[in-house]
Structure 1
Amino acid sequence: MKLKDVYPLYLNNKAAQPNSDLVVTDKFTGEVAFRTALATPDVIDEAIAGAVRAAEPMARLASYEKRDVLAHCVARFQERFDELAYALCVEAGKPIADSEGEVTRLIDTFRIAAEEATRNYGEVQPLDISPRARSYMGMWKRVPIGPCSFISPFNFPLNLAAHKIAPAIAMGCPFVMKPASLTPLGAIIMGEVLAECDVLPEGAFSILPASRDGADLFTTDERLKLLSFTGSPGVGWDLKARAGKKKVVLELGGNAAVVVDRDADLDHALERIIFGGYYQSGQSCIHVQRAIIHADVYDRFRDMLTARVRTLKSGDPKHRDTFIGPMISEKEARRLKGWIDDAIAVGATLLAGGGCNGNMLEATLLENVPADTDLVREEAFGPVVILSQFTDWDAALAEVNDSKFGLQAGLFTRDLHKVLAAWDHLDVGGVVVNDVSSYRVDNMPYGGVKDSGLGREGVRFAMEDMSEIRNLIIRRT
């Protein structure tokens, strides 16, 4: 399969090729994979103006029309499955099996949105709670919030874009999207498919690769009513500070932990931690960064995990037997390699991996990592897992919470009382039992607390953020 040499952007529902200034590389070979257009501030301004004009006709779309647009996308993504997976493998360096998994989730997300497009319910509310309101009744419905701004990340360029685009269509909100400059092709292909839908009013969508310097309007323009950003905490909180009056939804970073109790199925926990810690080279905000193991099984589990990590195959992500592909850039690989070396220098023990060649960082496992190192405190965002041990369940939960992040946590235990204690006390957006923090289904509420963000994704929950409640009060005479 071969990618095209040049791709357009999508401005007010239509392909446009004002330039071919954005160069995107194959993340494994480093060679130019394709070029695409780069939106200038004038183009972004035109797109926002189009979204404003489209707001009213988008809001008037019937539920079945929105459903049919989303169903069309599902069908076309299924037809273009191999193309989408290959493009993702090239532009993100994601192993082909993981790329196919993400295309499946893209399809799931649009399918869920097609269903939710016909489920935008309201409520009838009794108002006669006192004599003065005896003759009154109320009801409310959700209406589209209006033009939305979306900024999506490089690590899941299909599915995390889908978690913004699909709910917007289901809710009836026009949008402008800035895909990550390192991985714009997935969103561009989504734009190509949406452009086939004549029912969408002009201005309903724009897909605009743009440089960070030229993209300020995505954040600051007051015509936009919501900003949804997925990416790093440093960037996200800065965008929120500059967003003005618009609603802001942030899905940011994490350094997620899993707890393995002494009664856990260790073979199952092993395979799931291998997945959660190392799939797509650990470049996920809910990847397993910290594994907290009960002291009674610690030595056995550490040895099992060490042996398994050493078998993980690194290499060309286009090969089916590759499990560890490249990190997104050599700069990021060097950054994480530096954190590993720093941790070892102050007493951490390297159990597996630790080597780095260009943007290929080996699957790495460490123990005895001091709690004040970057490898514990910050988001690694790479193929590294660190081990520690516990004897007291409450202490293990406290260790999970000892983080400025709070996306998800995983628990491996058979004790329901411990599960409920964790659900009550873990300061995270989600607790996953007998699986890793990295597990997500695309209809569930997903998001974090603390520095991990604001608001929730998951189609129905994103639709709530993309809407406002409009009340109706009736006096019966």
Structure 2
Amino acid sequence: MIGGRPTEGEGVFETVDPYRQTPFAEVAQAGPREVAAAVKAARAAAQKVAATPARARAALLRRAAESVRTRAESLALTMALETGKPIRDARREVARCPETLELCAEEAVRIEGAHIPMDATDIGAGKLGLVLRFPLGVIAAITPYNAPLNLVCHKVGPALAAGNAVVLKPAPQASATVAALVEALCEAGLPDGWLNSIYGDAAGRLLVEASGIDAVSFTGSTAVGARIRAAVPLKPVVLELGGNGFTIVHADADLEVAAGLCASNAMRLAGQSCISVQNVCVARPMFDRFTAMVLAQVDRLKVGNPLDEATDVGPVISVSAAEAIARRIEAAVKAGAEVLRGGGRTGALVEPTVLRLDAEGGPTFDEEVFGPVVNLIAYDDLAEPVSWINRGRYGLQAGVFTGSLAVGMSLARALRVGGVILNGTSTWRSDQAPYGGVKDSGSGREGPRYAIRDMTEERFVVINH
């Protein structure tokens, strides 16, 4: 969709149903010509977007939210087929999309500046100082396959709310899913050029480096995020990258609650979430009981067809992704991990896998697995998991289970991560809240209010009077 019209590309590529391993959709492959056209269309629309009153932008976003609601079941089914997400999870994601857009609509009319007390200095006396916020212009939004619809809303919604035009480039594996969402948004009345979408792997680099792009918002792997940052060092870039999902279970925690949430959130979405529970650090006196509870929960999970209403764990996005996860499990076993459950795969279906680690480190501990794999490791002192988390390369979110508010707040202050969830796991996000990481987990924040801050620039205005 470029300038309000469907366009052909330089060719086509196929997306694949990861459960059946059959072709799902043919999508137009964007080349240099299509990328340039999309940027040109957004550039041409940017001034009009910025000049549109905030209340009108908010109204458009509310209409877009309603348009998504009317297509909810169709969008969920497309997502389940194209990405392998279990249909119940797909419906939950689609239900969040209108809420995200409505939150963006509310924030569109709350973009605030500041008054600077100029008489704080001699040189400022007699002057009035204001800080105003203005849209950046054109935002390149690059989104992943694991939450293909709501993460689009988390980029497109704030960008439009702030008065920017958008060029959207989703992950190729979710192209048809995102195309259906873009159609719903445009049919809600978005003017031509406000939202443009291009598809295919090659389009990403061309889009990021295009001179008409004013800022980049990217969600995906740390490796790709680092390449984007290096390619455009002087452009504003928001990066929501990977993590290795630590959750701490203190000795005074409710073990039954903690085990249930750790087991389900490690395997939910087949572990394909940057905040998926991956490392669970358990107080040693509780370790054996906790492990037994986790295994009992994992044994209840149903793995299989994402269209089956009873399925808890579907396939990962591709056979090659499943093979990479299997190799990482094998490497962890060679490094000393013990497989307590799972470890195998069939096609793109990876068995929910529970590993016991006797020491920190290893292929499934240090790096993001992005699959249904969880490590269980005992600790003797709380300083140990704090050190493991803070020394590691990632810093997205962490969970803490404890019956003590003092312990919880102490850990919230000590852990160098973007978010700490007390009496919950690392796998938690609310759409109005700030979301993002530190270290190799990224920079900047999502959440409508916070994304708008990153998609606008401050301008200092001095009035002599």
TM-score in terms of structure 1 length: 0.95
Alignment of 1:157-306 (within 5 A): 157-198=148-189, 200=191, 202-212=192-202, 214-306=203-295
- Are residues 1:465 and 2:454 paired? yes
Which amino acid is the alignment partner of residue 425 of structure 1? A
- Are residues 1:424 and 2:410 paired? no
Moved more, 16-25 or 185-194: 16-25
Which amino acid is the alignment partner of residue 415 of structure 1? S
Unaligned runs of 5+ in 1: 1-9
Deviations 1:295-352 (A, max 9, x none): 1211111111112212211110000111110011111111111111122223211111
Which of 122, 125, 128 is the equivalent residue of 1:134? 125
The SS at the match of 1:16 is coil
* Contact persistence 2:275–2:396 (CA under 8 A): yes
* Contact persistence 2:101–2:157 (CA under 8 A): yes
The SS at the match of 2:187 is coil
* Contact persistence 2:9–2:31 (CA under 8 A): no
- State the partner residue of 1:145: 136
Which amino acid is the alignment partner of residue 297 of structure 1? M
Deviations 1:188-215 (A, max 9, x none): 1222123224462x32121111223x44
Which amino acid is the alignment partner of residue 344 of structure 1? V
Which amino acid is the alignment partner of residue 325 of structure 1? G
Which amino acid is the alignment partner of residue 35 of structure 2? I
- Are residues 1:343 and 2:329 paired? no
TM-score in terms of structure 2 length: 0.97
* Contact persistence 1:14–1:195 (CA under 8 A): no
- State the partner residue of 1:312: 301
- State the partner residue of 2:49: 58
Provide the identity percentage: 35
Distance 1:384 1:198, change over 3 A: closer
- State the partner residue of 2:368: 379
Deviations 1:136-184 (A, max 9, x none): 1111221101111111111111111111100011011001111110111
Deviations 1:72-99 (A, max 9, x none): 1111111111011101101110001110
Rounded to whole Å, the distance in 2 between the matches of 1:369 and 1:319 is: 37
Unaligned runs of 5+ in 2: none
**Offset, 1:353:** 0.8
The SS at the match of 1:469 is strand
Rounded to whole Å, the distance in 1 between the matches of 2:124 and 2:391 is: 50
* Contact persistence 1:270–1:305 (CA under 8 A): yes
The SS at the match of 1:77 is helix
Which amino acid is the alignment partner of residue 440 of structure 2? D
**Offset, 1:61:** 0.7
The SS at the match of 2:173 is coil
* Contact persistence 2:271–2:370 (CA under 8 A): yes
Moved more, 240-249 or 405-414: 240-249
- State the partner residue of 1:441: 430
Which of 400, 403, 417 is the equivalent residue of 1:411? 400
**Offset, 1:244:** 4.3
**Offset, 1:16:** 2.1
The SS at the match of 2:134 is strand
How large is the RMSD of aligned CA atoms in angstroms? Answer: 1.4
Aligned residue pairs total 465
Which of 70, 76, 89 is the equivalent residue of 2:80? 89
Deviations 1:14-66 (A, max 9, x none): 22234761211111101111212121210110111111111111100111111
**Offset, 1:242:** 0.6
